[in-house]
């Protein structure tokens, strides 16, 4: 989020310095290497570095003193009890305060719970020189991993939570190209801006859990969840987005943001029953996929299972809260030999979770002599699998398509034993 936002702001004509305390990241960026996988990002970085609008530095203090607007874009991971961990945000605020030599805007891009703006104002006031002038702004991001560059450059809306006309004017200037293009600008107070991000993510998480539960019922009664979702999406009040059944949501946002919202609600005496239920349903959905696998392969001991897709979604190498983690754990607990493939995320999966996981460079190597294949990430290359070749490479033609990306008609015609999500009896 920080690198995409900083580079995007440079593309809007601003002079931007991207900073990090991890000097290795900065060194990589200075060498023209991108430390994350995000389509289109390298081209955007290269263009703005060459134009002289974008630079990288690990000298945080100097960068603060030389800037007019400081965006805080550090992580806010989930704490032990579900609340957002704001240690990194608060550390940045203290560093900014200690280098506040002129009026500056301190803008939170990080996803932070409501009330954080006031908290940062208190921290900076405490640690800044007496009489220092500054404004806090909340400018939440709405970037989807895999399409973050497009989402930043062509957003649905820009949300600015401000507390002064001066800050509003400066922030509009920062986003001037979007303002000129009449991109919707939501100008509001800081608590409302902080809430908008959590409300948006929580609502989308609820949609995903809802359609998964509808899919689970469809499996039992012979209904087709694709037809159901399409008809629902044609209702203008609902829209078709995020009505795609599967193994549940994951990644860096929805899991932690829903938990943080529920925790914030408890703190203020508000019970988030709908969001809490979505969280519970999402955890259960991983087990739904495991049960489908066990229906096809009741005795997994010593059997070879190929897992295709490890990232929580396509077009990213992010494995945070990926459904693949719990599903691989469950397969191993049942005694299966797990082999895995992902075009981008395999190294991260081994680094973060399963050092001994067998990963391969191609689908054919991965599925060789397998008794079961489970498709978990909707990569384009998996959508186009040659099912005849897949069957020829397998020991037994058992497939769990957890993303509904394979042709049911072809699976039937080729004699596969298959399960998918909400279409198994269609």
3-state secondary structure of 8: helix
3-state secondary structure of 372: strand
**Please, which residues have CB within 8 angstroms of residue 184's CB and are 6 or more apart in sequence?**
156, 157, 158
Which of 18, 19, 107, 253 is labelled catalytic?
Answer: 253
253 carries an active-site annotation: yes
SS3 state of residue 40: coil
Can you tell me which residue has the tokens 């002038």? 133
Q: Are 207 and 247 in contact (CB under 8 A)?
A: no
Is 151:143 a contact under the CB 8 Å cutoff?
A: yes
Q: What are phi and psi of 377, to 5 degrees?
A: -125, 130
Report how far residue 321's alpha carbon sits from residue 285's, in angstroms, rounded to the nearest whole number: 13
Q: What is the DSSP letter of 417?
A: E
Sign of CA dihedral 107, 40, 19, 53: negative
CB atoms within 10 A of CB 105: 21
Q: Tell me if residue 397 falls in helix, strand or coil.
A: coil
Q: How far is CA 290 from CA 97, 98, 391, in A?
A: 50, 52, 21
Q: Which residues are catalytic?
A: 253
């Amino acid at each position: 989020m920080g690198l995409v936002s900083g580079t995007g702001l440079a593309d809007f004509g601003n002079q931007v310095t991207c900073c990090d305390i991890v000097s290795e990241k900065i060194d990589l960026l200075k060498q023209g290497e991108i430390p994350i996988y995000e389509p289109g990002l390298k081209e955007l970085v290269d263009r703005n570095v060459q134009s002289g609008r974008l630079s990288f530095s690990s000298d945080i203090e100097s960068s603060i003193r030389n800037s007019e607007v400081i965006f805080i874009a550090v992580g806010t991971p989930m704490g032990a009890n579900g609340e957002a961990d704001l240690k990194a945000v608060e550390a940045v605020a203290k560093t900014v305060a200690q280098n506040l030599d002129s009026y500056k805007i301190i803008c939170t891009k990080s996803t932070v719970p409501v009330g954080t703006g006031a908290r940062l104002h208190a921290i900076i006031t405490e640690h800044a020189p007496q009489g220092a002038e500054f404004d806090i702004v909340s400018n939440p991001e709405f970037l989807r991993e895999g399409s973050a560059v497009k989402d930043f450059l062509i957003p649905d809306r820009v949300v600015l939570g401000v507390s002064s006309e001066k800050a509003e004017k400066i922030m509009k200037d920062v986003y001037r190209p979007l303002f000129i293009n009449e991109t919707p600008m939501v100008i509001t107070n800081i608590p409302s801006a902080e809430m908008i991000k959590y409300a948006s993510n929580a609502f989308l998480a609820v949609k995903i859990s809802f359609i998964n539960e509808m899919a689970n019922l469809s499996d039992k009664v012979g209904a087709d969840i694709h037809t159901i979702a399409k008809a629902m999406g044609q209702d203008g009040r609902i829209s078709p987005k995020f009505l795609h059944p599967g193994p549940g949501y994951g990644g860096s946002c929805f899991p932690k943001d829903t938990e943080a919202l529920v925790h914030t609600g408890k703190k203020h005496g508000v019970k988030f029953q709908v969001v809490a239920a979505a969280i519970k349903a999402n955890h259960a959905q991983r087990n739904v996929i495991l049960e489908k696998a066990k229906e096809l392969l009741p005795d997994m001991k010593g059997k070879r299972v190929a897992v295709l897709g490890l990232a929580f979604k396509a077009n990213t190498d992010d494995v945070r809260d990926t459904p693949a983690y719990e599903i691989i754990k469950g397969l191993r607990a049942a005694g299966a030999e797990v082999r895995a493939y992902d075009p981008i995320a395999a190294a991260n999966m081994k680094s973060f979770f399963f050092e001994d996981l067998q990963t391969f460079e191609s689908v054919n190597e991965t599925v060789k002599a397998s008794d079961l294949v489970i498709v978990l990430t909707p990569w384009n290359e998996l959508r186009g699998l040659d099912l005849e070749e897949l069957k020829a490479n397998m020991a037994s033609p058992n497939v769990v398509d957890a993303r509904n990306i394979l042709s049911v008609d072809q699976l039937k015609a080729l004699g596969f034993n298959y399960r998918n999500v909400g279409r198994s009896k269609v």
